[in-house]
Chain A
Amino acid sequence: MAETQSNGHGYVGTRTIRPDGVDKVTGRARFGADFNLPGQLIGRVLRSPHPHARIVAIDTSKAEALPGVKAVITRDDFADQPSEFIPAGEMMMNYKDVVRNVMAREKALYEGHAVAAVAATSAAIAKRALKLIDVTYEVLPHVIDVVEAMRPDAPVLHDDLFTAGVEPKPDKPSNIAKRVEIVLGDIEAGFAKADVVVEREFKTAPVHQGYIEPHAALATVSEDGSAELWCCTQGHFIVRAHCARLLGLDIARIRVTASEIGGGFGGKTVVYLEPLALALSRKAKRPVKMVMSREEVFKASGPTSGATVRVKMGATRDGKFVAGFAELKYQAGAFQGSPVQPGVMCAYAPYDMENVKVIGYDVVSNRPKVAAYRAPGAPISEFAVESVVDEIAKKLGLDPIELRMMNAAREGTKAAYGPKFGPIGLEETLNSIKKTEHWNTPLRKWQGRGVASGFWFNIGGETCVSLTVNEDGTVSLMAGTPDIGGLRASLAMIAADELSVEYDKVRPIIGDTGSLGFNFLTGGSRSAFSGSMAVVEAAKQIKADCCARACKLWDLKPEQVAWERDRVRPIGDVADKAKPMSIADFAKVAGKTGGPIVGYGRLNAQGAGPSLGTHLVDLEVDPETGRVTILRYTVAQDAGRAIHPAYVEGQFQGGAVQGIGWALNEEYVYGADGKLQNAGFLDYRMPVASDVPMIDAILVEVANPKHPYGVRGVGETPIVPPLGAIANAMENATGIRFTELPMSPPKVLKALKEQGVTAK
């Protein structure tokens, strides 16, 4: 069989209506909390009021005796797990910690840590039952701040935590879980060549992913141990794996269906309620539904790290970066596993530098265990570096875009973290920003303009999809990665183009864990990248199968038949021997040519191309109140190839606005008592519509050669540049270099007063 690339109707690159759209604008789409089962119980979690306490005893007898209570679970309902690190996408995980995070064992390690859970016939009874659980705590001293947690006299969270990555191995446990380091070249030699050196320390606050949908799970476990689970997650195969492990069930016994997901941004890549709902249902022998309150989401699900970062960079007089050093201290929360590793790797990734050294520390403290948040770790370290880059530009009297251009990583650049880059689009994004009308518009007093670039790796990973040609020629597409923002549309467009069928004739669904092979989760900007590769693979199988069927029907040899453009055709000498057949034609004769026509794309996707972007922001500072208003914002980012440009723009815009929140307002505020003081949307202030302007999006397309359509992941990079861009604009507006996030009104006002920069 011969094969030529088909591009069918050319849907890729157009703005189709998403297949799941009507359900989402009519209220029909079912999200995590929208599922119910007959006879279901309501589950609720008892959470620690203390940031750090030994759990001496838990007496559940009174709660169990309350009429309507059907099950109570505690640490005793979960077998302990051995300590063993296993790769989990962009991060590592350890089931010894996971089992302790879903249900406290020896100690409660943060305010909000789950201590027990109940299932009852109503929410009111469940709530009453929680009050009847008697927990004896021995309250321990706590530590919240990352620098304090690193001190030798700090309260130690884990007696068995010895800093990894240092020689000799420490003889005492501490809160420093590990030290990581990357080195390229020789920074001492590099700094010796520098004409200008800038060194600064930065601080960022922990911020929450802020998805609008709280975590929710509905579980039912039958008497024979088979379990079904509906939940909102970024990866139902991962949920299945974690729950099987924590509950001691065979993987084949658990079927997980991902509901529609109301935002995740990395925060729904781990389990919280799911194993509890299953354990309660196993005990009660009835379905159990659990939904977190917003307060629980803030207190007990992962924010990302706050951090302290020191950056020192050197450059020559003409602007060449000759050395970069950084030291990153990231909060991990109560268990190790902050995103400090990717933070270390990304810090200098946008630049072509010969001498780089970055050291990172992963530090535990009495806060909720951090979870991934969009380009985990990168916004923090790149904020610090981009701030220093801006300062170097100012010292040297260079245009900040020109300075970045001069040092930009490009194809062939060896990154400090290891690889040599293939084609990447940083220069193109800088160029397109420079050409905007935005860049060339004058500003007024108290207004400032800032620019910053950003880098994220992107990943591929295990992916499996099926394509089924139905009897009427329509196509059913099944993917196994939850659709968090337009995945179905993207995959349907690829399938339609590959098989030359109309877009509306392809119906994509997200299959449950019993319907497909293993899929890694929606994260790492991988789902459209890897999913489309799998769709291409599945379509290839279908086209090959149809060619084989045509050989039989037409009595021709394999080399006399090929898929060309939009259908199977006889080729060469026999080109007029038979009428070419489309996918719909084969559908009609599927039965008599070998049965169902199905393609199964399965792969461990490799070759995810990094995506780089540059952001440009104008803002205005109110010297009376310290409030900062974002006036104008432009994003330029390399998408490789935008399958659906509107959803790619949406990723750029949404990431930018999350970054604006991170830079200006969002933070976890703790009291001296170690308790979170702003566990609600009123006090944890995310950007609302009136806080932000339109976000101009420029799609740069430098094709990724490792993907059949040139696609790169786009979802994470957009949150990387805003922090630096806004800090740089603040410096431009006020002359003050802000090194601490968020740049909230009280901090801005204080800085203006201290620096004597006041309203005239």
Chain B
Amino acid sequence: MAKHHVEATVNGDAVEFLCETEETLLDVLRDTLHLTGSKEGCASGDCGACSVTLDGRLVCSCLVLGCEVGGRRIETIEGLAEGEALHPLQKKFLEHAALQCGICTPGFLVASRALLERNSNPTDTEIRYWLAGNLCRCTGYDKIVSAVKDAAATLRKG
């Protein structure tokens, strides 16, 4: 069967690509568009390392087919920093030492941004439940929660 021709927007840039039906959005991002910041930890939607937003909605890109994203807007970790300036979440993750190995970090950052876009002042519990779809095996989550709270405070100050 012929490959699908897909046009979409990734981090604000127009992209077009060909993909097989069974290829996931994560496969397309990593292997075709060479955006390897999104990680594959499980390929079953259980770890969140491949988190991206699709028209503003947080999804596991391993659970979306590449041929489904035609005409849609995808934001990945590579689009989080604005120009040379790191996003407040990125800065706070560094300041709080909220990463150890760093493999889950892109997914946590993308998911945290999606949270703060909906809720500018989340409680610890709201942060923990929102991020329950993202596995981190190194940090025990403590410093991640602190970093997200601190970033929210920074963003609220504008």
Contacts and interface: CB of A to CB of B under 8 A. Distances in A.
State whether these chains interact: yes
Nearest to B106: A27
Given A22-B86, A27-B106, A681-B135, A213 B101 contact: yes
B86 A212 contact: no
B128 A689 contact: yes
A212 B104 contact: yes
Given A17-B95, A27-B106, A214 B40 contact: yes
Contact of A658 (B41, B44, B137): B137
Question: Residue among A15, A209, A656, A681 with the most chain B CB within 10 A?
Answer: A681
B43 interface: yes
Nearest to A482: B101
A695 interface: yes
Contacts of A486: 97, 100
B103 interface: yes
Contacts of B35: 27
A262 B78 contact: no
B94 A646 contact: no
Contacts of A263: 100-101, 103, 137-138
The 9 closest A-B pairs by CB, nearest first: A27-B37, A262-B103, A485-B100, A657-B140, A24-B102, A681-B46, A653-B140, A646-B97, A27-B77
Nearest to A694: B142
B100 A681 contact: no
Given A25-B99, A27-B78, A34-B36, 20 more contacts: A21-B94, A22-B86, A25-B93, A26-B77, A27-B36, A27-B37, A31-B103, A209-B137, A214-B40, A260-B102, A294-B44, A294-B47, A653-B142, A654-B138, A655-B140, A657-B141, A682-B46, A686-B137, A688-B135, A694-B142
A212 B137 contact: yes
Interface size, B (range) = 35 or more
Nearest to A25: B90
B68 interface: no
B46 A680 contact: yes
Question: Residue among A15, A644, A689, A695 with the most chain B CB within 10 A?
Answer: A689
Given A26-B78, A27-B77, A681-B44, A212 B128 contact: no
A714 to B, nearest CB: 12
Contacts of A34: 30, 36
A214 B62 CA distance: 15
Interface string A45-89: 000000000000000000000000000000000000000000000
A647 interface: yes
B103 A213 contact: yes
B100 A647 contact: yes
Interface string B14-50: 0000001000000000100001111111111011010
B138 A485 contact: yes
A307 B96 CA distance: 38
A436 interface: no
A694 B42 CA distance: 26
A484 B100 contact: yes
Interface of A: 15, 17-18, 20-22, 24-31, 33-34, 124, 209-214, 260-265, 291, 293-294, 484-486, 644, 646-647, 649-651, 653-658, 680-682, 686-692, 694-695
Question: Residue among B37, B127, B144 with the most chain A CB within 10 A?
Answer: B37
Contacts of B53: none
Contact of B101 (A25, A27, A262, A691): A262
Contacts of B20: 124
B36 to A, nearest CB: 4
Given A24-B102, A27-B106, A680-B46, A689 B143 contact: no
Interface in B60-93: 76-78, 80-81, 86, 90, 93
Contacts of A654: 100, 137-140
A686 B76 contact: no
B126 to A, nearest CB: 10
Contact of A690 (B39, B80, B129): B129
Contact of A650 (B80, B97, B105): B97
A727 B111 CA distance: 34
B102 A262 contact: yes
Nearest to B110: A27
Contacts of A656: 140
B101 A689 contact: no
A445 B104 CA distance: 37
Given A18-B97, A262-B102, A695 B140 contact: yes
26 contacts: A17-B94, A24-B102, A25-B93, A26-B81, A26-B86, A26-B90, A27-B80, A33-B39, A34-B36, A210-B137, A212-B41, A262-B101, A263-B100, A263-B137, A485-B100, A485-B101, A486-B97, A644-B97, A651-B100, A657-B140, A680-B42, A681-B42, A682-B44, A689-B136, A689-B144, A690-B131
B138 A650 contact: yes
Contacts, number: 184
A209 B90 CA distance: 27
Contact of B97 (A15, A689, A692): A15
Contacts of B39: 31, 33, 212-213, 262
Given A25-B109, A27-B106, A653-B143, A689 B132 contact: yes
Contact of A294 (B42, B131, B133, B139): B42
A27 B133 CA distance: 19
Contact of B131 (A680, A687, A689): A689
Contacts of A17: 94-95
A18 B47 contact: no
Contacts of B95: 17
A644 B106 CA distance: 23
B10 interface: no
A124 B21 CA distance: 12
Question: Residue among B81, B134, B135 with the most chain A CB within 10 A?
Answer: B135
A33 B140 CA distance: 24
A444 B124 CA distance: 22
Question: Residue among A26, A209, A484, A682 with the most chain B CB within 10 A?
Answer: A26
A211 B137 CA distance: 6
Contacts of B131: 688-690
Contacts of A682: 44, 46
B38 A646 contact: no
B80 A26 contact: yes
